[in-house]
């Protein structure tokens, strides 16, 4: 049994093909947060881990029904193991995330490995709220 923490366009509430994949291949488990920071890359956010307790990223945790198949598709989508032409690179790592009730969950997450100096921070770490505020 494996969990996946998603924080951007794969969260519930977004109309995205990979969110549809999760809806078919996984079960929503809980809303959660993880220590880290979100940045606006334009069409989607990027997540970097931080050990600072005062910053967190809000997301959803899914229980993966067929971990290997789902992660293979998502790894390809995220460009894991590739140097993308865009200069955007990700790594999939297991992180500790916390449910709204404070329960610790070990979950896979995709972390951004690129430079941050040109990116706008998403204050509060909640891309769903941030995205909604941009479109209102």
Rounded mean pLDDT, 89-103 = 93
> Cα 13–117–83 angle (5° rounding)?
75
Q: What is the extent of the structural domain holding 33? A: 2-134
Higher-confidence position of 85 and 43: 43
Name which of 115, 128, 117, 107 is nearest 45 in CA terms: 128
pLDDT interval class at 15 (50, 70, 90): confident
CATH code, domain with 79 = 3.10.490.10
DSSP element (H, E) containing 67 = helix 67-78
β-strands 56-64, 26-40: how paired?
antiparallel
Number of domains in the chain: 1
Percent of the chain with pLDDT over 70: 94
* pTM exceeds cut of 0.75: yes
* Separation of alpha carbons 95 and 109, rounded Å: 7
Q: Give pLDDT, residue 86.
A: 57
Q: Give pLDDT, residue 62.
A: 97
């Amino acid at each position: 049994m494996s969990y996946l923490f998603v924080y951007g366009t794969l969260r519930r509430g977004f109309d995205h093909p990979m969110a549809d994949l999760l809806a078919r291949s996984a079960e929503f488990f809980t809303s959660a947060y993880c220590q880290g920071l979100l940045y606006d890359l334009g069409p989607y956010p990027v997540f970097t881990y931080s050990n600072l307790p005062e910053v967190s990223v809000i997301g959803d945790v899914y229980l993966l029904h067929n971990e290997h198949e789902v992660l293979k598709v998502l790894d390809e989508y995220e460009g894991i193991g590739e140097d993308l032409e865009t200069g955007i690179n990700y790594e999939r790592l297991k992180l500790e995330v916390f449910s709204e009730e404070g329960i610790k969950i070990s979950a896979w997450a995709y972390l951004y490995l690129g430079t941050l100096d040109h990116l706008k921070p998403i204050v509060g770490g909640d891309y769903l709220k941030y995205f909604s505020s941009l479109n209102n």
